[in-house]
A and B are shown apart, each in its own frame.
Chain A
């Protein structure tokens, strides 16, 4: 089923360069070029019966440094559009890769709000949690955190801000054990008894 869809996308929009990630365990996915996400989605909606956008999920991959035998890899962010077709009973995970960008220069991708209204809240959440700028979104504000919150919590290198609106975010007397804290996995070197949050 997925092979046919990849073929159809490549026939209609060859620039999108759709490829199939076949998985032995779990779900297979389709990768497309992030610049052509809007035409691909439009094609899937109008001609391939994927009339429902269920969720926009985002994944952050940190850059990997060069190790023995393993080449260095650049970090990237994956935006997964999980679509469903109710008439054909199908499900599809469509992925687009973006560079990680920086706090001032967030990665950009076209918004699909014009196709599905569901994208409105989903993309706001992706912006809030992962820091992705959806170009053409009618109302791109933070949704789950406060409007003046700093950083994007689901990024893998996220560190909680120290003070928010005059309140200490993580007072020492309320901290849990260090091994349960966020960021421990990634900031293992900065861990010390004195400073369990790496702050």
Chain B
């Protein structure tokens, strides 16, 4: 990335090149910086405006979820799981419930399975809208944020009606869901997803194809396939690198095998495969795929109970399980070890955001500081999940 003088310029230049000294300057970005999406501190070593090294420092939001999970019962873990990725709390809960249900061999009623898919996909849309809004702000465009939040508000209202909370729901329970969904809500969700399809096209014309946006994101922060596998990246980062991998298709859970949808992957349309623009475009198309899934759910939803038969005190047998689910930001894995008591013996969370933060030192050398902001925004981290 460094600019080199041509031979003519060198001979004409009054300054001898070996006499120019450039200092390495250390800049701290964060922990209270709007573009780091939370309390992430990145220690940047810069040579003029070019980043030579970026070291992420995390842990400012560490609450030791894993220790909490060893000390409360299996239902009590759910509110803590909410607080990991607070922008996609439904998906966090679902993974935990699936792991416990698999150990207990509980059967979840069909209606609850449909509701789970609906709320998880709605939450995925809300999370991607949040990404769209904040990423635009990172790059200096304020208006898209307002568009995104207008639509996100609808989803939060629906969730508020279902669970009583706007962000941290505690809605998906072991054995089913807590509350039934009514026909009026289903009807409103139906009209919302129809509107959402048009909105995505509007957003893409407004931001995605905007020349300034393309200049800022194409060919910036390239995470190719090799790097993604080396670091274990998942979710939109992996798919942005052109890898066709989605747990909902490749290792399905819940009732996902019944639905027809595609996996959007990066194409390198505006620049190089795996750049920031590809990751943005994968997320936008994922909204459309979620709309497809929700529409099939609304058509196929069955009536019946929403809670399976689970004993009052949950005591799974002594076992071990590692279960992954596809969350908006990547794969979330619960490594759950039980010893036959009513608390888990050990819980370890495989967090995709944690993995993605660890990729920053690999992609940042050679970027401008402003491009580093664009890169951090494009991997869409939530510090609650990084630090747990």
- B354 at interface, CB cutoff 8 A: yes
A29 vs chain B, min Cβ distance (A): 7
Cβ-defined contact, A89 with B251, below 8 A: yes
A142 to B62, CA, bound (A): 12
Cβ-defined contact, B335 with A25, below 8 A: no
B58 vs chain A, min Cβ distance (A): 7
A89 to B66, CA, bound (A): 28
Encode contact with A along B375-388: 1 for CB under 8 Å, 0 otherwise. 00000000000011
B84 vs chain A, min Cβ distance (A): 13
B20 vs chain A, min Cβ distance (A): 32
A142 to B102, CA, bound (A): 34
Encode contact with A along B258-289: 1 for CB under 8 Å, 0 otherwise. 00000000000000000000000000000000
Among B103, B345, B357, which residue has its beta carbon within 8 angstroms of that of A26? B103
Main secondary structure on B side of the interface with A: mixed
A191 vs chain B, min Cβ distance (A): 14
- B358 at interface, CB cutoff 8 A: yes
Which of B28-36, B37-45, B181-189, B226-234 interfaces with chain A?
A: B226-234
Cβ-defined contact, B319 with A26, below 8 A: yes
- A140 at interface, CB cutoff 8 A: no
A185 to B341, CA, bound (A): 11
Question: Given contacts A52-B229, A80-B335, A82-B335, is CB(A153)–CB(B320) below 8 Å?
Answer: no
Among B229, B320, B337, B358, which residue has its beta carbon within 8 angstroms of that of A120? B358
Among B58, B59, B66, which residue has its beta carbon within 8 angstroms of that of A154? B66
Q: Most chain-B Cβ atoms within 10 A of its Cβ — which of A29, A118, A120, A129?
A: A118
Chain A residues with CB under 8 A of B59: 142-146
Chain A residues with CB under 8 A of B62: 144-145
Cβ-defined contact, A23 with B319, below 8 A: yes
Question: Given contacts A26-B102, A116-B230, A117-B231, is CB(A55)–CB(B319) below 8 Å?
Answer: no
Cβ-defined contact, A118 with B103, below 8 A: no
- A10 at interface, CB cutoff 8 A: no
Question: Given contacts A143-B59, A144-B58, is CB(A118)–CB(B320) below 8 Å?
Answer: no
Chain A residues with CB under 8 A of B355: 118, 121
Encode contact with A along B326-360: 1 for CB under 8 Å, 0 otherwise. 00000101010100000101101010001101100
Encode contact with B along A32-68: 1 for CB under 8 Å, 0 otherwise. 0000000000000000000111110111100000000
Cβ-defined contact, A25 with B230, below 8 A: no
Cβ-defined contact, A180 with B71, below 8 A: yes
Number of interface residues of B (CB under 8 A): 41
Cβ-defined contact, A26 with B231, below 8 A: no
Among A54, A59, A116, A146, which residue has its beta carbon within 8 angstroms of that of B337? A59
A142 to B387, CA, bound (A): 13
Cβ-defined contact, B66 with A185, below 8 A: no
Encode contact with A along B292-304: 1 for CB under 8 Å, 0 otherwise. 0000000000000
Cβ-defined contact, B333 with A54, below 8 A: yes
Chain B residues with CB under 8 A of A143: 58-59
- B72 at interface, CB cutoff 8 A: yes
A78 vs chain B, min Cβ distance (A): 9
A59 to B66, CA, bound (A): 11
- A76 at interface, CB cutoff 8 A: no
B337 vs chain A, min Cβ distance (A): 6
B45 vs chain A, min Cβ distance (A): 15
Q: Most chain-B Cβ atoms within 10 A of its Cβ — which of A60, A82, A125, A144?
A: A144
- B142 at interface, CB cutoff 8 A: no
Additional A-B contact list (6), CB under 8 Å, known A23-B320, A25-B103: A57-B335, A80-B335, A89-B250, A117-B358, A117-B362, A181-B71
A-B contact pairs, 12 of them (CB 8 A): A25-B103, A26-B320, A27-B321, A55-B232, A55-B333, A80-B335, A80-B348, A86-B245, A89-B250, A93-B322, A117-B230, A144-B62
Which 5 A-B residue pairs are closest in the complex by CB-CB distance? A26-B319, A121-B358, A26-B321, A118-B232, A57-B348
Interface on A for B, CB 8 Å cutoff?
A: 23, 25-27, 29, 51-55, 57-60, 80, 82, 84, 86, 89, 91, 93, 116-118, 120-121, 125, 129, 142-146, 153-154, 180-182, 184-185
